[in-house]
Chain A
């Protein structure tokens, strides 16, 4: 290989923190993602609890409006970009190579890079709290209030820059998974034998790759307006705020499918395992996922029904939005048919997956209500929408993720979690969730707008707001039970076998936790649910690897490039020389990465 001035030999068997910094093992990266995302989820939850405390009754003076606006902005941005998406990424990272019978992803260093860049983005966004105030114009940042004329401080700048950095992380990860899933499947693992979770992740990655550039452009335009005086959203120059909304939602709607499809994939794995039956209608479930992803590009203006697009546009988008309910419903029916006549084990992951069906259905129904543009005018920007989004995100994405954490816990930790605590955690979670969010349907239809820091007692909203606030504290308690269970079990739970659930897919055919190389011998796949079929036919065997297994080496450079981006981001906000320094570090890192030698493992 070429010699290169900055050539540093790759780390050899690093230990301790250096192991984590230089790792390119998809399993470790998955754990990094999962733990980081969960901590950020807690932060987002605290932001919610503060808001709900302020809203517990009318005219409370706990939180002033400026802080409140920062809280709801950060809550939304954190939950979507720093919690749900990276938790999804944690699952992609850990599971996809295992499910397709590979040793790692296609680009292991790019994988590490996407984690460190995500962390950089999280740091940048949350740094705003300490550097003059967090962004305060909502996670959707509608123009013109995000412009310099109405928002002078650096809060919005942090929002813009952190989202761009997070976009780089997401795109890097998505590219990686697309290539991995297409190109690194074990022999015999055709697309029609792919586990549903991997399929849904594949579709999600494609959505990411096509949707993120649109918000990248929107953020660039806003940034140029704020930093360089351009006119994209300057109304006095003829700029139209509606353009921001179109760009944002062309990204934003596929984004919500990015948030839910992995969750649907997780549910599609859990239900068959604990019903001891295959997923009912596998081709239909996959096709529905593809149709949802495709049609997700045609519905974006249902977020803009009240913006004045006119009855023709509103009708078109109402119809497309109603249409997308159909493949969604079909999935639900297939899940129910999977359970039907199964032999059900109602343990913790199964409870979460079944709970998903119920709460996601509620969210889906309120979604179809919103699709009616005429009556949506009474729901838009009220708590009815807040109810809908939390039912699909909390009662959809999150509940599935929690179920997935329990389901794969034995695999990634090598331990069994405590089943009693798990069930207790589930029931408290499920009940608390409904106490928190169901009343929002009522307050919304009773005329309570969103994004208000206080309300008057004459409106009659006090009672249900108090119930919601109580609910959120109950939710916090439920999450404490969850955290306690996971942490204590990880430290000293009972050792887990390779296949504690008598499950169906390839990841259960290897030890818990898997060795660094995943599979001693790359399996030859002959069926869908290959592991289950092999078990049924008694064809499982302990195969011993016949030769050397070559694994990718750890590397410093992904971390270095991410640091460069972090520095460049702060420089972009504060100080151009710092931005240049950061960019230089990034470029040096990229060059060193490209020319890095491949050491042979010893």
Chain B
């Protein structure tokens, strides 16, 4: 029987591929359909929210570009980690692996920050007659938001500060956005825990090495998958949501 943790020797399987590697690919195929269904739901409901903020009211492409870059860099550090391991450089491997974990956690931090910002999203609307901002947002404001605006403006302020935030309950955009990105974030979290476990595991003598690298290989596959899904989400949800013509 083959040592199932060791895939540099030719595997004792029909195709020569390790069983667990094949399993990971099958799993990722399945996970593709999972995210495809969530993205399809998002697209079906795009532009259909009855009230509440729309993508253009909330998204900050510069900020999200940074977090996307961070996640992309985490994939690069993962590649470097794997490469170091296969060349037997265990210490370098651990450095790059830990970098991946830190970058992944940074990405998650950005997500948490962004989500909290969305739930509040204070907007400033001037109190002048027919203020352009008010006209722009009028259809999307709820009745209580409108009365809050009127109340603040009646106190002779120059402009009113209205919370125009979004939770999963607010509207279709909130629902589809938070569920989609939430599940992606959950996948990233699982990945971070997995990689961190691998990091500690690697301190045990002989646990991972140039010959025993399947565990890292599998984790890397998963990590890259999660990154690719984010690229798609960033494009379809963020970029398409903000730029005209989509």
Q: Which positions in A face B, CB cutoff 8 Å?
A: 2, 106-107, 171, 174-175, 178-179, 182-185, 189, 209-214, 216-218, 220-221, 224, 228-232, 236-240, 243, 247, 250, 550
Question: Do residues B34 and A230 form an inter-chain contact, with CB atoms below 8 A?
Answer: no
- Distance from B219 Cβ to chain A, minimum over Cβ atoms (Å): 12
Instruction: Decide yes or no whether B30 CB sits under 8 A from chain A.
Output: yes
- Distance from B33 Cβ to chain A, minimum over Cβ atoms (Å): 4
- Distance from A331 Cβ to chain B, minimum over Cβ atoms (Å): 26
List, sorted by A's number, 15 A–B pairs whose CB atoms are closer than 8 Å: A2-B204, A106-B23, A179-B22, A182-B17, A183-B13, A212-B30, A216-B37, A217-B37, A217-B38, A218-B37, A230-B179, A237-B172, A237-B175, A238-B50, A243-B44
Question: Do residues B15 and A183 form an inter-chain contact, with CB atoms below 8 A?
Answer: yes
Instruction: Decide yes or no whether B99 CB sits under 8 A from chain A.
Output: no
Taking each of A185, A189, A210, which has the highest tally of chain B beta carbons within 10 Å of its own beta carbon? A210
Chain B residues within an 8 Å CB radius of A106: 19, 22-23
State A273–B49 Cα separation when bound (angstroms): 61
Taking each of B17, B26, B29, B179, which has the highest tally of chain A beta carbons within 10 Å of its own beta carbon? B26
Chain A residues within an 8 Å CB radius of B171: 231, 237-238
- Distance from A228 Cβ to chain B, minimum over Cβ atoms (Å): 7
Instruction: Decide yes or no whether B27 CB sits under 8 A from chain A.
Output: yes
State A185–B19 Cα separation when bound (angstroms): 12
- Distance from B5 Cβ to chain A, minimum over Cβ atoms (Å): 9
Chain A residues within an 8 Å CB radius of B49: 237-238
Number of B interface residues at 8 Å Cβ cutoff, please give it: 36
Question: Do residues A238 and B48 form an inter-chain contact, with CB atoms below 8 A?
Answer: yes
Chain A residues within an 8 Å CB radius of B48: 238, 240
State A2–B207 Cα separation when bound (angstroms): 7
Instruction: Decide yes or no whether B240 CB sits under 8 A from chain A.
Output: no
Question: Do residues A237 and B50 form an inter-chain contact, with CB atoms below 8 A?
Answer: yes
Instruction: Decide yes or no whether B31 CB sits under 8 A from chain A.
Output: yes
CB within 8 Å for A209 and B201 given contacts A182-B14, A230-B179:
no
- Distance from A105 Cβ to chain B, minimum over Cβ atoms (Å): 10
Question: Do residues B22 and A185 form an inter-chain contact, with CB atoms below 8 A?
Answer: no
State A356–B165 Cα separation when bound (angstroms): 59
- Distance from B116 Cβ to chain A, minimum over Cβ atoms (Å): 17
Chain A residues within an 8 Å CB radius of B169: 228-231
CB within 8 Å for A224 and B23 given contacts A183-B14, A210-B30, A238-B49:
no
Question: Do residues B33 and A214 form an inter-chain contact, with CB atoms below 8 A?
Answer: yes
Question: Do residues B31 and A238 form an inter-chain contact, with CB atoms below 8 A?
Answer: no
Q: Which of B29, B41, B204, B207 contacts A210 (CB 8 A)?
A: B29
Question: Do residues B30 and A213 form an inter-chain contact, with CB atoms below 8 A?
Answer: yes
> Chain A residue with minimal CB distance to B193?
A587
State A221–B171 Cα separation when bound (angstroms): 14
> Chain B residue with minimal CB distance to A106?
B19
Question: Do residues B37 and A247 form an inter-chain contact, with CB atoms below 8 A?
Answer: yes
CB within 8 Å for A213 and B41 given contacts A2-B201, A175-B27, A550-B1:
no
> Chain B residue with minimal CB distance to A550?
B1
Question: Do residues A183 and B19 form an inter-chain contact, with CB atoms below 8 A?
Answer: yes
Question: Do residues B37 and A214 form an inter-chain contact, with CB atoms below 8 A?
Answer: yes
Chain B residues within an 8 Å CB radius of A216: 34, 37
CB within 8 Å for A107 and B23 given contacts A2-B207, A213-B33:
yes
Instruction: Decide yes or no whether B168 CB sits under 8 A from chain A.
Output: yes
Chain B residues within an 8 Å CB radius of A239: 45, 172
- Distance from A97 Cβ to chain B, minimum over Cβ atoms (Å): 13
Question: Do residues B45 and A238 form an inter-chain contact, with CB atoms below 8 A?
Answer: yes
> Using a CB-CB cutoff of 8 Å, which residues 164-179 of chain B contact chain A?
168-169, 171-172, 174-176, 179
Q: Which of A2, A224, A229 contacts B179 (CB 8 A)?
A: A224
Knowing that A183-B13, A247-B37 are A-B contacts, what are 13 other residue pairs whose CB atoms are under 8 Å apart, sorted by A's residue number? A174-B26, A183-B15, A183-B19, A213-B34, A217-B37, A217-B38, A224-B179, A231-B169, A231-B171, A231-B175, A232-B175, A243-B41, A243-B45
Question: Do residues A182 and B22 form an inter-chain contact, with CB atoms below 8 A?
Answer: yes
CB within 8 Å for A184 and B14 given contacts A107-B23, A209-B26, A238-B171:
yes
Give 7 nearest A-B pairs by CB, closest first: A217-B37, A213-B34, A213-B33, A183-B13, A230-B175, A231-B175, A229-B169
Taking each of A218, A224, A230, A236, which has the highest tally of chain B beta carbons within 10 Å of its own beta carbon? A230
> Using a CB-CB cutoff of 8 Å, which residues 133-178 of chain B contact chain A?
168-169, 171-172, 174-176
Chain A residues within an 8 Å CB radius of B174: 230-231
> Chain A residue with minimal CB distance to B50?
A238
Question: Do residues B172 and A238 form an inter-chain contact, with CB atoms below 8 A?
Answer: yes
Taken residue by residue from 75 to 104, chain B's Cβ proximity to chain A (1 for < 8 Å, 0 otherwise) reads as 000000000000000000000000000000
Chain A residues within an 8 Å CB radius of B37: 213-214, 216-218, 247, 250
State A210–B34 Cα separation when bound (angstroms): 9
> Chain B residue with minimal CB distance to A187?
B14
State A216–B30 Cα separation when bound (angstroms): 11
- Distance from B229 Cβ to chain A, minimum over Cβ atoms (Å): 13
Question: Do residues A183 and B22 form an inter-chain contact, with CB atoms below 8 A?
Answer: yes
Chain A residues within an 8 Å CB radius of B30: 171, 175, 209-210, 212-213
State A107–B21 Cα separation when bound (angstroms): 12
Chain B residues within an 8 Å CB radius of A179: 19, 22-23, 26
Chain B residues within an 8 Å CB radius of A209: 26, 29-30
Taken residue by residue from 6 to 28, chain B's Cβ proximity to chain A (1 for < 8 Å, 0 otherwise) reads as 00000001110101001100110
> Using a CB-CB cutoff of 8 Å, which residues 46-70 of chain B contact chain A?
48-50
CB within 8 Å for A178 and B26 given contacts A183-B19, A214-B37, A228-B169:
yes
Question: Do residues B168 and A228 form an inter-chain contact, with CB atoms below 8 A?
Answer: yes
State A231–B177 Cα separation when bound (angstroms): 11
Chain B residues within an 8 Å CB radius of A182: 14-15, 17, 22
Chain A residues within an 8 Å CB radius of B45: 238-240, 243
State A217–B41 Cα separation when bound (angstroms): 9
State A240–B26 Cα separation when bound (angstroms): 32
Chain B residues within an 8 Å CB radius of A185: 14
Chain B residues within an 8 Å CB radius of A171: 30
State A243–B33 Cα separation when bound (angstroms): 16
Chain B residues within an 8 Å CB radius of A189: 14
- Distance from A113 Cβ to chain B, minimum over Cβ atoms (Å): 13
Chain A residues within an 8 Å CB radius of B40: 247
State A228–B179 Cα separation when bound (angstroms): 11
Chain A residues within an 8 Å CB radius of B29: 209-210
